[in-house]
C-alpha cells in the first residue's frame, strides 16, 4: 500500500545531506522503487550541488545494500535516472532557486522539509533563519509557484519545552501550556541582536581585547596572521554572544535551548503561512543509530549522545546531571524515516489541513536514565577503552547530581587549569618541557567540552515530558503486515538492552575510532610516519630557521660573543650584568614584534669594523655556533641534500654570523647591515626575514627556482615562524616553544626534539676567559 500509493510521485527533500535526510533517500530508493526523488541542496564553497550529493549522500555506507544489488555502475545509473538535484537554500527568501529549480519544485507531489540547524548550541540568528523561517520560506515559495503538494515538516518533540507530564500530538497553539509569542517579533529581535553584537565587537575596547588575545595565543607571528587571528576571535565572540542570547531567550520562554525554541516558533509560522497547502508536522525525539534499516547501528556523524558516551568511557566526564528515574526519549533513525514515508503515503485533501505525528519512545517503550547509565557502564566494564599505554580506562560511576552542581565543579577545575596555562606560557619553555603546557591546554579543552555538554544536553537529561504517539501507532497499525516490517515505526518493538549493548555502543566506539585493545602502540609511530613523508624523494625544498632550530643560540649571544672578545673577565661580568638587566624589556619587545626587536638590537653594531667582524666569522663558527649546534639538525640538512632537495637557510641573524654556514646550504637569506667607511651603521639594508616577510621571501625564492611550496619542508621553533610554516606543505616544529607546541599538536605537524651535542659549552653569556682576538674600535 505504501509503495503503491507513492508510485509515480515526485518527492522533494530538503536536508538530504544530513543524518535523517540520507537515511530517507536510501529508504525511498530501495523500498519505494517507482517514486522520483528531488533533492534541494545548497552548493558548497568549492563544490556544486551534484558533487555534494555524490560525496555526502550517495557514497555513504547507507547505500551499501543497493550497491551490492546493482553494482556500483548500476547504482549510480539508478541515481541518475531516479534523482533530480536542484540548487537551493532554505536560509534565503525564495530558496534561491533558478528557473529550472522552480519548475522542478513546482512539479512535486510531496515536499519533505528536513533541513535544519540541528546543533543545540547554534547562534540565535542562524537558528532563526533556518529553523524558524525555513519551513515558511518553503511553503511561501510553493504558493508563489502555484503548487499545492503535501508538505511534511520535520520538527522535534522538544517544542513542548520543559514541561512535565504528557505532551500530546497537537499544535502548540492548542496546548493548555501555550505561550503566546509573536514569531515575527522574535525574528526582528534576533536580527537586531546580531547587528548589535557585531557593532559592539568593532568597538575600540573590544578590538583591543581581541588583539591582545591574539597576541597571547600566537605570539609575534606577524601582522597578517595576528590580524587574521584577531578577526577570527571577533567573529567567534559575536557567535558566542548569540549562542548565549539564544539560550537565555529560550530559557525565559520555557524551552531547553535555541534549537527547540526556533523549531517551536517555526511550527507556528508555518501554520500561519501555509494557506491551502496541506501540512503534516512530524516530531521525532532524540534521533540515534538505526534499529534495523539500512542496517543495525547505521549512523552518520556523531549525534547527541555519542560525545557524552565516549567522554564517559574515556574517564573524562566524571559526572553528568539527570533524573535517574526520568526517561531518555531516544528513537532509532529508521523509525523516523518509516514514519515520514508513512505520512507521505497517507495522501492529502488539498484543503489546507494540518496534523501532527510524534515519533518517540517514552510513553510506548520507556528507557529510564538510570537503566541507560547502568547498561552503558556495564558494557564498558566488559569492553573498556584503553589509554596510550595500553591500560584499560575505568569508566566512572555517576551519582546523578544536579546540573548546577556539575557546572560549578567543572568551572572550578577550569579556573585552576586556566591559571596554570597562563603561568606556563610566561615561562621560557621549549622542546619536551613545552609539552607540559600543551597537556594543560588539552585538559582545559576537555573540561570546556564537558561544560559544553552539561550546558547543552543537561536540560534534555532532566526533561520529564512524556510525548504521546497515538497518531503514530494508529498509522503503524494501518500498515499491512509486510509493511509493518519494511516500514516499522512502532518504538514498542525495540529491546533497549539489545539496542544499547549490541547495536548502538559497538557502533559508537567504532565511529569514534577509540582504542579497544590492550596492545601497546608504538608511541613514535606517528612521528616516524610524518618523518618519512618529510624525507620523501619527491620533496623539492627544505627551508631551515637557524636559532633554536639548528643551533641552541640567539642573536643576543652572538652579539655578546663578538662584543667581549678583548674584554677582561671583570668587564665581561659587567657586560653580562647590564645585558641581564635589559633581558625583560628585550624579551617583551621580541614577543611583541620580532622585526622591531632585531632593528633595535642590531643598533648595537654601529661603528663595528666590517673587516674585523668578517675575520671573526670563522672563529664564531668554531667557538660558538658549532659547539651549540644540534647534530641531528645538521644531519637532517645533509639528508635533504642527499635526496636532491634544495636547501635554504632563512634567518633574521646577520650575514656575518651565518656566512660560515654557506657550505651546508644551497642558499642563505638573512639580515644585512649597511656600511659606511668600512664600518657597520647598525641599520639594516632591508626588512629582516621574520614573520610574514620570511614567508614572502620563501615564496619569491620558490618562484625564482620553479619550486612547488606544497612539496616543500620548513623547520622552525617559534610561533613567530608561523607564516613560514604555513607557507609549505610539510611544516616541522623543532624544539618548539609553548605556543608552537600547542599549535603543532593541534594541526598534526611533525615535532622534532633535537638534543645539543655532548661536551658543548654551557655558557649562556660569555663570562669565562676568551682570547683577545678583536681590535679595539677607534
Domains of the chain with CATH codes: 529-752 (3.40.50.1000)
- Contacts of residue 729, defined as CB under 8 A and 6 or more positions apart, other chains included, come to 709, 710, 711, 712, 713
- Contacts of residue 606, defined as CB under 8 A and 6 or more positions apart, other chains included, come to 680, 681, 682
* Grid cell listed for 274: 501555509
The continuous run of DSSP H or E covering 224 comes out as: helix 223-252
Q: Are 473 and 364 in contact (CB under 8 A)?
A: yes
Cα–Cα nearest to 717, from 557, 553, 524, 598: 553
Cα–Cα nearest to 497, from 646, 314, 627, 367: 367
Instruction: Say what the pLDDT of residue 521 is.
Output: 66
pLDDT less than 70: residues of the chain: 120, 176-177, 302-305, 319, 402-403, 425, 427-429, 431, 456, 518, 520-523, 565-566, 622-626, 758-778
Going from the C-alpha of 760 to that of each of 364, 557, 631, 755, the distances in angstroms are 76, 15, 11, 11
* Cα 700-704-710 angle, rounded to 5 deg: 65
Largest Cα–Cα distance in the chain?
107
Separation CA 28–CA 35 (nearest Å): 7
Mapped onto helix, strand or coil, the DSSP state of residue 284 is: strand
Mapped onto helix, strand or coil, the DSSP state of residue 651 is: strand
* Grid cell listed for 69: 544489488
Cα–Cα nearest to 113, from 257, 273, 258: 273
Instruction: Say what the pLDDT of residue 762 is.
Output: 52
Mind giving me the DSSP string for 324-376? TTSB--EEEHHHHHHHHHHHHHT---SS--EEEEEE-STTTS--BHHHHHHHH
Instruction: Say what the pLDDT of residue 595 is.
Output: 84
Length of the chain: 778
Instruction: Say what the pLDDT of residue 729 is.
Output: 95
pLDDT tens sequence across 368-395: 988 988 898 888 888 888 877 778 888 7
**Is the full-model pTM beyond 0.85?**
no
pLDDT tens sequence across 493-510: 999 999 999 999 998 888
Amino acid at each position: 500500500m505504501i509503495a503503491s500509493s507513492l508510485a509515480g510521485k515526485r518527492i522533494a527533500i530538503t536536508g538530504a545531506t544530513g543524518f535523517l535526510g540520507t537515511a530517507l533517500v536510501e529508504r525511498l530508493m530501495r523500498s519505494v522503487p517507482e517514486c522520483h526523488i528531488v533533492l534541494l541542496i545548497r552548493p558548497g564553497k568549492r563544490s556544486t550541488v551534484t558533487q555534494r550529493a555524490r560525496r555526502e549522500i550517495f557514497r555513504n555506507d547507507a547505500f551499501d545494500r543497493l550497491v551490492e544489488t546493482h553494482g556500483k555502475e548500476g547504482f549510480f545509473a539508478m541515481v541518475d535516472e531516479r534523482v533530480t538535484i536542484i540548487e537551493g537554500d532554505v536560509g534565503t527568501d525564495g530558496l534561491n532557486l533558478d528557473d529550472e529549480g522552480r519548475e522542478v519544485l513546482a512539479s512535486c507531489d510531496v515536499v519533505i522539509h528536513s533541513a535544519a540547524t540541528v546543533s543545540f548550541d547554534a547562534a540565535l540568528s542562524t537558528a532563526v533563519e533556518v529553523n524558524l523561517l525555513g519551513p515558511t520560506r518553503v511553503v511561501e515559495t510553493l504558493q508563489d509557484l502555484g503548487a499545492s503538494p503535501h508538505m511534511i515538516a520535520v520538527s522535534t518533540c522538544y517544542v513542548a519545552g520543559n514541561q512535565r507530564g504528557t505532551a500530546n500530538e497537537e499544535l502548540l497553539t492548542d496546548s493548555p501550556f501555550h505561550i503566546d509569542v509573536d514569531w515575527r517579533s522574535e525574528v526582528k529581535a534576533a536580527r537586531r541582536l546580531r547587528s548589535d553584537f557585531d557593532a559592539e565587537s568593532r568597538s575600540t575596547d573590544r578590538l583591543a581585547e581581541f588583539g591582545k588575545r591574539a597576541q597571547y595565543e600566537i605570539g609575534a607571528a606577524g601582522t597578517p596572521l595576528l590580524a587574521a587571528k584577531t578577526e577570527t576571535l571577533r567573529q567567534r565572540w559575536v557567535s558566542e554572544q548569540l549562542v548565549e542570547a539564544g539560550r537565555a531567550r529560550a530559557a525565559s520562554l520555557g524551552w531547553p535551548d535555541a534549537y527547540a525554541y526556533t523549531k517551536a516558533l517555526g511550527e507556528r509560522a508555518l501554520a500561519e503561512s501555509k494557506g491551502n497547502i496541506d501540512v503534516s508536522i512530524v516530531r521525532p525525539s532524540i534521533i540515534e543509530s538505526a534499529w534495523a534499516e539500512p542496517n543495525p547501528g547505521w549512523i552518520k556523524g556523531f549525534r547527541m549522545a555519542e560525545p557524552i558516551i565516549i567522554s564517559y568511557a574515556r574517564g573524562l566526564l566524571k559526572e553528568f546531571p539527570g533524573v535517574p528515574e526520568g526517561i531518555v526519549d531516544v528513537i532509532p533513525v529508521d523509525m523516523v524515516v518509516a514514519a515520514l514515508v508513512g505520512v507521505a503515503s497517507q495522501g492529502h485533501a488539498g484543503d489546507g489541513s494540518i496534523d501532527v505525528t510524534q515519533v518517540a519512545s517514552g510513553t510506548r517503550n520507556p528507557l529510564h536514565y538510570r537503566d541507560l547509565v547502568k547498561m552503558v557502564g556495564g558494557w564498558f566494564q566488559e569492553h573498556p577503552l584503553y589509554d596510550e599505554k595500553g591500560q584499560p580506562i575505568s569508566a566512572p560511576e555517576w551519582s546523578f547530581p544536579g546540573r548546577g552542581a556539575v557546572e560549578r565543579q567543572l568551572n572550578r577545575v577550569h579556573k585552576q587549569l586556566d591559571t596554570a596555562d597562563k603561568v606556563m606560557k610566561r615561562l621560557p619553555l621549549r622542546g619536551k618541557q613545552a609539552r607540559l603546557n600543551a597537556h594543560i591546554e588539552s585538559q582545559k579543552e576537555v573540561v570546556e567540552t564537558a561544560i559544553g555538554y552539561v550546558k547543552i544536553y543537561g536540560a534534555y537529561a532532566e526533561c520529564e515530558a512524556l510525548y504521546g504517539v497515538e497518531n503514530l501507532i494508529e498509522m503503524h497499525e494501518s500498515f499491512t503486515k509486510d509493511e509493518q516490517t519494511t516500514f516499522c515505526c512502532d518504538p514498542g518493538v525495540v529491546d533497549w538492552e539489545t539496542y544499547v549493548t549490541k547495536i548502538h555502543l559497538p557502533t559508537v566506539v567504532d565511529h569514534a575510532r577509540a582504542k579497544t585493545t590492550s596492545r601497546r602502540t608504538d608511541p613514535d609511530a606517528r612521528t616516524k610516519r610524518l618523518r618519512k613523508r618529510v624525507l620523501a624523494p619527491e620533496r623539492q625544498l627544505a627551508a631551515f630557521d637557524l636559532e633554536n632550530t639548528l643551533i641552541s643560540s640567539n642573536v643576543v649571544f652572538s652579539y655578546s660573543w663578538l662584543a667581549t672578545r678583548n674584554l677582561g673577565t671583570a668587564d665581561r661580568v659587567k657586560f653580562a650584568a647590564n645585558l641581564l638587566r635589559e633581558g625583560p624589556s628585550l624579551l617583551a619587545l621580541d614577543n611583541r614584534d620580532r622585526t622591531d626587536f632585531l632593528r633595535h638590537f642590531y643598533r648595537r653594531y654601529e661603528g663595528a669594523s666590517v673587516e674585523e667582524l668578517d675575520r671573526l666569522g670563522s672563529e664564531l663558527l668554531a667557538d660558538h655556533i658549532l659547539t651549540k649546534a644540534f647534530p641531528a639538525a645538521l644531519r637532517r640538512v645533509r639528508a635533504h641534500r642527499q635526496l636532491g632537495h634544495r636547501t635554504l637557510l632563512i634567518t633574521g641573524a646577520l650575514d656575518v654570523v651565518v656566512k660560515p654556514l654557506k657550505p651546508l646550504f644551497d642558499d642563505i637569506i638573512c639580515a644585512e647591515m649597511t656600511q659606511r667607511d668600512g664600518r657597520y651603521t647598525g641599520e639594516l639594508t632591508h626588512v629582516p626575514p621574520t614573520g610574514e616577510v620570511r614567508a614572502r621571501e620563501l615564496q619569491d625564492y620558490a618562484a625564482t627556482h620553479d619550486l612547488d611550496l606544497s612539496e616543500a619542508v620548513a623547520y622552525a621553533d617559534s610561533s613567530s615562524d608561523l607564516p613560514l610554516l604555513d607557507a609549505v606543505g610539510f611544516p616541522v616544529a623543532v624544539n618548539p616553544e609553548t605556543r608552537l607546541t600547542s599549535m603543532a599538536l593541534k594541526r598534526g605537524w611533525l615535532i622534532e626534539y633535537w638534543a645539543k651535542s655532548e661536551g658543548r659549552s654551557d655558557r649562556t653569556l660569555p663570562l669565562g676567559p676568551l682570547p683577545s682576538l678583536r681590535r679595539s674600535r677607534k
